[in-house]
Amino acid sequence: MKTRITTAAAYLGAALALVAIPGHAAVQVNDTTNISLSIFVPCAAGGAGELVDVSGPLHTLISFTINGNRVSIVMHFQPQGISGTGETTGAKYQATGVTETSFTASLQNGQLSSTFVNNFRIIGQGAGNNLLVHETAHITINADGTVTVTHDNFSIDCK
């Protein structure tokens, strides 16, 4: 006789295995990868705007924790020496900032919260051509599925 495991049974087994694991925290990813991006900076070139081509190392750190009946994930991204050049003016730029996402959830009742924070900056030579992007978003959901907290604060500034 052939035994068949259904998808639901496989998920249930995985969930039970997670609950049975004692407190465990581990860095799953700690990596630096070279990236290349083209970013429009509207305040560059005297307010005319220009595309800025940047490249360099992006540090990525992802941690995963299971502690009792809770799971937590933290993802952290940070440019490290990313620089570039404006396509129109040839001006030099540096990319700085940090992006972080955190997520926690109950393995018993589904209650969860998640927060996203992004500070991204393209800093040019001289005054008036720095692009500053900031976002803070958060959501909390109770065990019964009710969203009790939600907000998203987003801004883009040229300085």
Is it the case that residue 1 has pLDDT exceeding 70? no
pLDDT at residue 19 in the model = 42
Is it the case that residue 9 has pLDDT exceeding 90? no
Find the mean pLDDT for residues 8-22.
39
Tell me how far apart the alpha carbons of residues 106 and 144 are, in angstroms, rounded to a whole number: 12
What SS3 class is residue 47? helix
Q: Which of 131, 121, 116, 128 is nearest to 73 (CA)?
A: 116
What's the count of helices (H) and strands (E) in the chain, helices before strands? 1, 8
Is it the case that residue 2 has pLDDT exceeding 50? no
Tell me how far apart the alpha carbons of residues 135 and 153 are, in angstroms, rounded to a whole number: 5
Q: Looking at the whole model, is its pTM more than 0.75?
A: yes
Is it the case that residue 134 has pLDDT exceeding 60? yes
Tell me the per-residue pLDDT of 85-107, one tens digit each, with 9 for 90 and over.
Answer: 999 999 999 999 999 999 999 99
pLDDT at residue 126 in the model = 82
Residue 42's H or E segment, with its range, is none
Q: Which of 60, 130, 68 is nearest to 105 (CA)?
A: 68
